A = this chain, B = another copy of it.
Amino acid sequence: MSDYTAPLADMRFALEEIAGISEIAQLPGCEQASADLVEAILEEAGKLASGVLAPLNRVGDKEGSRLENGVVRTPDGFKEAYRQYVEGGWNALPFEPEHGGQGLPMVLATAVLEMWNAANMGFALCPLLNVGAVEALTAHGTAEQQRLYLPKLISGQWTGTMNLTEPQAGSDVGALRTRAARDGDHYRITGQKIFITYGEHDMAENIVHLVLARLPEAPPGTKGISLFLVPKFLVNGDGSLGARNDVRCVSLEHKLGIHASPTCVLAYGDSGGAVGYLVGEENRGMECMFTMMNNARLNVGLQGVAIAERAYQQARDFARQRVQGRPVTAKTAGTYPIIHHPDVRRMLLMMRAQTEAMRALAYYTAGAIDRARHHPLSETRARQQRRVDLLIPVVKAWCTDLGVEIASTGVQIHGGMGFIEETGAAQHLRDARIAPIYEGTNGIQANDLVGRKLLRDRGEAARELLADLRAIADRSESAMGEDFAAITAMLGAGIDALEDATAWMVATGGADLPRALAGSAAYLKLMGIVVGGALLAQGALAAKTRLAASASDTAFHQAKLATARFFAEHVLATAPSLAPAIKGGATTMSFDLEGF
């Protein structure tokens, strides 16, 4: 029912005009990202996404993964799709060439990852988690661990998982109880982990678990946590597979969405202890975990973009064919599809404009990661890294909250059909709902933004960001026409509000942290809206320049101006009104807990 076509024109536009991929391709280590290669990759990824992965999305939802005698069977077609994905070399795209990666820029990998998630979020979770394992081993693994595991994780022949959560230890990782005991050159792991995405499945010959556990006599809390590599099958020195390790999937969760993705309860050490290998140093597991989680947060934010795009395409296609009622805009007799109704257009534009703003923010942040890694000037690298650190929680939380909202609007556009599962619109809402929760709830992202990112440098990175946003607003002010007049007014007020709120947060956070944190979600939303709106304005400026330079793609570029203006009127306009919520923490914190 629901088709997906990768929005290549929109993606190219965001890559070029928002993230600056041509500039990134000039950086040392990024040279192979030539315009031709980028184009070829986008085209081919789009084919795999729409031709292979998207048609399995509904199957995945209906069948789900099933646990049968300790073996997890993925839905029909997933194994074969994964084989195609690996054989196409797609898994290796973002990784360093040293162990077989293609070494392409993060920003390009981000666009490609958007396609996998839009096509089939339940499928895409498997490679998404694998990224964390690769990054942890790349940063903290021994040479031998890297030699044995990285090439196969990078190719996708094996997959990786992240094992953090236990029943009593969700967001509070420090409360975990899984134990590790030294046993010669390795360790023995015992305990139970929950919520392990693709913790067991039939798409790859081996699964490499990265497991947080506690050594005997380790200090309590997060300072006593170490990271271990625990393969499903032990690996011989020549890379061949050895004995089955002592880790078993004991059950799968029955979830609201992402049914294709098996969410496993894993039991370690029921038969004496699973063999594990230390990654990094003892009791320094949290650092390794943050390495795994940081890009994972960007990638989860991207799921919000992806599911919004998917929901938008489905709602648009439905609105174009569903005939119902005579719209007030109808000038002639005959039948009209519901896309002619003003409120349906409003909903579609709300979906579209916000999706473009989110994509702009996500690609922009991915581009900053490339610059932070590859820019020749250390000062620029440091500045870009500050930008990344600041924006990662915004990408994660703002985009995933909007992903849910937009998928919900997608259901609404379908009317009664939206509530019927066969239509497929409801699946997007169900799938989207996990993204604000995992990889650190959005509340934790807001706390991270204010409590760590903003307070640790007393707002410096935020002020650098504000200066860049002002530059966009200034350029918008100089541009002619009604659209830019409207955009400039809303953007200017939004930047003022963000500047004021940032100063308030920095001042208040030191004196009364609970009060600041009570306003942190509203502050994060404000930052998402203002940065998203500014990046759409930057896109509109680029579109205007292109319109003046060439007569091709006129409609496409005019639409960029229109969505930027729509976003300004419908979303940016609300930015200053968030101030009382941002600063209203006293009301929240003084509410009597017994009064709830």
Residues of A whose CB lies within 8 Å of any CB of B are 165, 168, 170-172, 175, 194-195, 253-257, 316, 319-320, 323-329, 339-349, 352, 404, 408, 411-412, 415-416, 418-422, 426, 429-430, 433-434, 436-438, 441-443, 446-447, 451, 486, 490, 513-515, 517-522, 555-556, 558-559, 562, 565-566, 568-570, 573-581, 584-585, 587-596
Q: Give bound CA distance, A592 to B557, whole Å.
A: 12
Across the interface, do B328 and A514 meet the contact criterion of CB distance under 8 Å?
yes
Contact of A514 among B342, B437, B520, B570 (CB under 8 A): B342
Given A328-B517, A420-B255, residue A594 in contact with residue B433 (CB < 8 A): no
Chain B hits for A559, CB < 8 A: 591-592, 595
Across the interface, do A341 and B443 meet the contact criterion of CB distance under 8 Å?
yes
Beyond contacts A562-B591, A566-B587: 12 other A-B pairs, Cβ-Cβ < 8 A, are A171-B325, A255-B419, A316-B596, A339-B596, A342-B588, A343-B520, A411-B437, A412-B442, A412-B443, A416-B438, A570-B581, A574-B578
User: Secondary structure at chain A's binding surface: helix, strand, loop or mixed?
Assistant: helix
Closest chain B residue to A589, Cβ basis: B342
Across the interface, do B416 and A437 meet the contact criterion of CB distance under 8 Å?
yes
Chain B hits for A171, CB < 8 A: 324-325, 415
Chain B hits for A590, CB < 8 A: 562
Minimum CB–CB distance from A296 to chain B (whole Å) comes to 15
Q: Which 3 A-B pairs have the closest CB atoms?
A: A569-B584, A577-B577, A343-B443
Minimum CB–CB distance from A443 to chain B (whole Å) comes to 4
Q: Give bound CA distance, A319 to B433, whole Å.
A: 19
Closest chain B residue to A421, Cβ basis: B254
* Copies per assembly: 2
Across the interface, do A581 and B577 meet the contact criterion of CB distance under 8 Å?
no
Closest chain B residue to A408, Cβ basis: B404
Contact of A345 among B555, B578, B589 (CB under 8 A): B589
Across the interface, do A570 and B580 meet the contact criterion of CB distance under 8 Å?
yes
Across the interface, do A589 and B421 meet the contact criterion of CB distance under 8 Å?
no
Across the interface, do A342 and B585 meet the contact criterion of CB distance under 8 Å?
yes
Chain B hits for A345, CB < 8 A: 518, 588-589, 591
Q: Give bound CA distance, A184 to B578, whole Å.
A: 66
Minimum CB–CB distance from A310 to chain B (whole Å) comes to 15
Q: Give bound CA distance, A410 to B195, whole Å.
A: 19
Minimum CB–CB distance from A123 to chain B (whole Å) comes to 18
Closest chain B residue to A572, Cβ basis: B580
Across the interface, do B411 and A433 meet the contact criterion of CB distance under 8 Å?
yes
Interface centre among A172, A256, A446, A490 (most CB of B within 10 A): A256
Across the interface, do A594 and B329 meet the contact criterion of CB distance under 8 Å?
no
Closest chain B residue to A173, Cβ basis: B325
Across the interface, do B343 and A521 meet the contact criterion of CB distance under 8 Å?
yes
